[in-house]
Amino acid sequence: MSDISKEALETTLCYIEKDGAYLMLHRIKKENDLNEGKWIGIGGKFEKDESPEECMRREVLEETGLTVKTYRYRGIVTFVSDRYETEYMHLFHITETQGELKDCDEGVLEWVPVDTLSTLPHWLGDRAFLSLLRTQIPFFSMKLTYVDGDRLKECLLNEQPVLFTERFVLRPFIIEDAEAVFDAAKDPEVGPWCGWQPHPDPEHSKDIVKNILMTPGTFALVPVDQGDPIGCISLAPLSSQSMVREGEKAAEIGFWLSQKHWGKGYMPEAVRELQRYAFEEKHLDALWCCYYEGNSKSSRVQEKCGFTEEFREKVERKLLGDEAISVRQKLTKDRWRET
């Protein structure tokens, strides 16, 4: 067995929650601190022969004066950087402590409301695992790769990509999202515009999440200060042979959004990030996006994001038992670069 201790650090990263706020450490006291100026959780390096739980309890006590009572060991975050040592951070969510808060010599401790945390200086990748702390996801593995110091190059959740916008985390769906999916997809104003029936019950939504949404290229649209998705966006194979062009590497973007969040500019924001991902990281030549005649909201989103009409065709909507005119729109990589 190889000794990874010479190549990587083992640390704990702990988020103590109380009354809708996390106890955060503003790192402004320590010299030569890779976290200088940022707001992070509590934690530190393993000592000899410590388990993750032992390290977590010791670090919390040393940095805050608090004794941990109730916690969950949530996952492992692999932190990779072109400037610092690789770090394996064992992530803990602590919901009950005992004792009096003390000053910390590494920074200033402050209770920060969850919904304002993303406005403070932080590592961008932190948004992904902080969002997962709001869910019941089982133990997970996340990998964060940074270049040029603190520029996030890649985020992977259980080996699947995670993307970011100013207001959202676009992450893979998890089975625990089924309740939130049902809340949005039961609305008769959502599904039929996408070609599917409103979800009749939570079990149906659970089946859809498991068999359709939990596939590579499909992302849950999660606000940065929440854990539950409010919509879906996907990068999928082309849905019609009429869209295939010889020698062209292309895919199709699809999306839906909970009606309560319509009109806020959320979906254009998500579509633009998926365009960047498709053209810069997947190296596609073109993207397609479609809507059924009469769906003015989807049409406006696509127009804002640079798609232009190529053709229209009558299609069978098997899940609705009818036919409709599908407007097929396209955006090339060259035109995307120009805009």
Q: What is the pLDDT of residue 339?
A: 82
Same fold, 4-158 and 168-338: no
Taking only the tens place, the pLDDT of each residue in 276-304 is 999 999 999 999 999 999 999 999 999 99
Q: What is the pLDDT of residue 175?
A: 97
Q: What is the pLDDT of residue 7?
A: 65
The amino acid sitting at 324 is: A
168-338 has CATH 3.90.1170.50 classification: no
Is the Cβ–Cβ distance between 117 and 130 less than 8 Å?
A: yes
Other Cβ atoms closer than 10 A to 266? 21
pLDDT at 1 over 50: no
Residue 186's pLDDT band, with cuts at 50, 70 and 90, is: very high
- E-strand ranges in 19-136 read 21-26, 39-40, 42-45, 67-81, 86-98, 108-113
Q: For helices 266-276 and 296-304, what crossing angle results, to 10°?
A: 50
Segment holding 334, helix H or strand E: helix 333-338
pLDDT at 35 over 90: no
Is the Cβ–Cβ distance between 141 and 158 less than 8 Å?
A: yes
pTM of the predicted structure, to 2 decimals:
0.92
User: If you compute the radius of gyration of the chain from its CA atoms, what whole number of angstroms results?
Assistant: 23
pLDDT at 121 over 80: yes
Residue 261's pLDDT band, with cuts at 50, 70 and 90, is: very high
Mean pLDDT of the chain: 95
Q: What is the pLDDT of residue 6?
A: 46
Smallest CA-to-CA distance from 25 within 52, 50, 1, 60 is with: 60
Name residues whose C-beta falls within 8 Å of residue 222's C-beta, 6 or more positions apart in sequence: 131, 168, 169, 170, 171, 228, 229, 230
Q: What is the pLDDT of residue 3?
A: 45
Query: Where do the domains of the chain lie?
Result: 4-158, 168-338
Class for domain 4-158, per CATH? alpha beta
Least confident of 26-35, 162-171, 206-215, 250-259: 26-35
